[in-house]
Chain A
Amino acid sequence: MSFNEVTVRERIRTALTPRLTEMGLTQADVGDGMSLTQSGVLDSFALMELIGRLEQDLHVELDFESVEPEQFTTVKGLAAAFVKALTA
């Protein structure tokens, strides 16, 4: 199976769904460029857990050394980081 930013974004959004439901939010409330931590959707630990689950699902490890911290707090940035890791 091949991944691109669109399919990875879908994966991230699926993984986020339980948390959004809990907060009474819908997918439409979360923009691709919105910070998941600063908006209060996830705290930093929950974000790391989400990333950990995605890493397992996609059988890949992100290189946090090369990712800007502010990048992996958004759906868009995170998807880009995963695609980069998957195609490396």
Chain B
Amino acid sequence: MEERGVQEEAVIVSRPAPDHLWTYFERAWRTAPERLALHVDGRGWTYAELAVRALAVSEAVQRHQPNGPFVGLHAHRSIGAYAGLLGILHAGKAYVPLNPQVPADRLSTIAGLADLELIVADAAREASAQDLAARRSAPCGIVLAGDAIGPAAPHRAGQEAYMLFTSGSTGVPKGVPIRHASVVAYVEHLLERFEAGPEDRFSQTFELTFDLSVHDLFVCWAAGASLHVLPQDQLMAPARFIREHGITQWFSVPSAAVLLDRMRLLKPGAFPSLRVSAFCGEPLPADLAVKWAAATPNGRVENLYGPTEATIAITGHVLDPTTPKARHGILCIGRPFPGARVRVVDADGNDAPIGELWLGGPQLSTGYWKDPERTATAFVIGGPDRERYYRTGDQVQRDADGDLYFISRLDDQVKVRGHRIELQEVNQVLKAVSGGAFAYALAHPVRDGIAQGIEAFLPLALQAEGASILEACALRLPEYMVPARLHFTDDIPFTTSGKADLRALRARLEEPARTGDR
């Protein structure tokens, strides 16, 4: 399995950039079929073993001939998840992850929004996939991934590679389709930036519903390296996993580092195997990054930034542990990747040192799925170059070196442990399940610059129903969007513009126990 030598070099050298993600995988497979591609659920799979399982999925998908560009993927940290994902791509379709950890109601909504006619599932999710298919208004088939093997065949061309659903302010999740070309632009830069090669061993921490997982899979396989999937119960404390698997490329939300630090496991020299440690998805505290750097004496720390709409990540910064560049303790997010365009725009639409971050270039999504209105608001033609930009809603500052610093959101979107949440969506669900006249959710508490959860204010009359409201929320929202705590009051402060004064509400949460809380 551990073949070394000239053969493998070919994986990195034999580029032009492909026009399809399967090509990255196929190059590595053809070059070194016996090398380890994936370690999941307690066993390893070579490129050849993974390839034939993906090919079986592709054949089955093509036999079903689903209309539309998308196929659902209902699988979790299993061989079926990875063979299924690759198989969908090989068949010329784009995958829509249907994470089994998300409540069935929400998955059903997503399956409907994406017009899914086919769901690929792993063996453990056959029953819930059948349920999902049965709830579709249109006929919907099932393909089981993982066991069957299929014959080699050329892949089918495809425009979109995947579509992810993010929290939407109207209460309905919004679909962000991403093209192969956008991912390839990202992967090409990252291969070089992280000097990824066949000897690398990549972590896979992110859920497939999170686009940072696409980095794990395709930077890894494009390099001919091996992907090591953390079991669910090790995500919280990955120290042993990193050591046992000799991980060289780590990628996670900063929360993972916070937890390791609290466990006193982030000791100097703790992880000598790591060459590159990248963090993304939420603000990275500078002191935490410095601790991580000390724990990985043979590696470097990268802070990446980017919204789903601009494919995985689009700016990056390499930590200098002796003099970290930070603002209010949060590490800077660096400069745009080559090919990406960045504008910092003030309220009047002019370029300015502080303002909203606008992103352009090949990594941009074509816009929200079947939502021209929101697409027109978020994706605009602007700047002196009259190019297409995505307005991130993130307020940033640019320093004299051209490095960017994240300051805050301009709207109600928050990040909780890396998950992107529109507070309006939480409010909508709270109002719907409680029948209350109002609901005001906010991210709280915030520690080390990282929001730990959601808390919400509801009318006092609902006080007795707190537990059942939370239960109903848990059926409609993913775990990270369900409020950890409800507060009942009829005394809501308002700003002069007539909006609920979230700052004043937040201040109340900082006070010691108040009556009416539960």
Contacts and interface: CB of A to CB of B under 8 A. Distances in A.
Interface of A: 21-24, 35, 37-38, 40, 43-48, 52, 61-62, 64-65, 68-70, 72-73
Contact of A44 (B236, B264, B466, B468): B236
16 contacts: A21-B518, A22-B467, A23-B470, A40-B474, A43-B452, A43-B453, A44-B235, A45-B259, A45-B452, A48-B262, A62-B263, A64-B237, A65-B265, A69-B236, A69-B237, A69-B238
Contact of B232 (A24, A38, A68): A38
B239 A73 contact: no
A43 B258 CA distance: 14
Contacts of A69: 233-234, 236-238, 240
Contacts of B255: 44-45
Nearest to B480: A43
B471 interface: yes
Contacts of A44: 235-236, 255, 259
Given A45-B255, A52-B262, A64-B265, A22 B518 contact: yes
Interface of B: 232-240, 255, 258-259, 262-265, 417, 452-453, 466-468, 470-471, 474, 479-480, 484-485, 518
A47 B360 CA distance: 41
A72 B467 CA distance: 26
Nearest to A20: B467
B236 A24 contact: no
Nearest to B466: A22
Given A22-B466, A24-B471, A40-B479, A73 B233 contact: yes
Contacts of A62: 263
Given A45-B255, A64-B237, A69-B237, 8 more contacts: A22-B467, A43-B479, A43-B480, A52-B262, A61-B264, A62-B263, A64-B239, A73-B233
Contacts, number: 64
Contacts of B468: 24
Label chain B's interface by main secondary structure. helix
Nearest to A69: B237
A65 B467 contact: no
Given A45-B452, A64-B263, A73 B236 contact: yes
Nearest to B238: A69
A45 B417 contact: yes
Contacts of A48: 259, 262-263
Contacts of B466: 22, 24
A17 to B, nearest CB: 13
B239 A65 contact: yes
A22 B480 CA distance: 16
Given A23-B470, A24-B471, A38 B265 contact: no
B470 A70 contact: no
A64 B233 contact: no
Contact of B234 (A21, A38, A40, A70): A70
Given A22-B485, A23-B470, A45-B255, A70 B264 contact: no
Q: Considering the complex of A and B, which 7 residue pairs feature the smallest CB-CB distances, nearest first?
A: A24-B467, A70-B233, A64-B263, A69-B237, A44-B236, A69-B234, A48-B262
Highest count of chain B CB atoms <10 Å: which of A23, A35, A47: A23
A39 to B, nearest CB: 10
A57 to B, nearest CB: 17
A71 to B, nearest CB: 9
A35 to B, nearest CB: 7
Contacts of A38: 232-233
Contacts of B236: 37, 44, 47, 69, 73
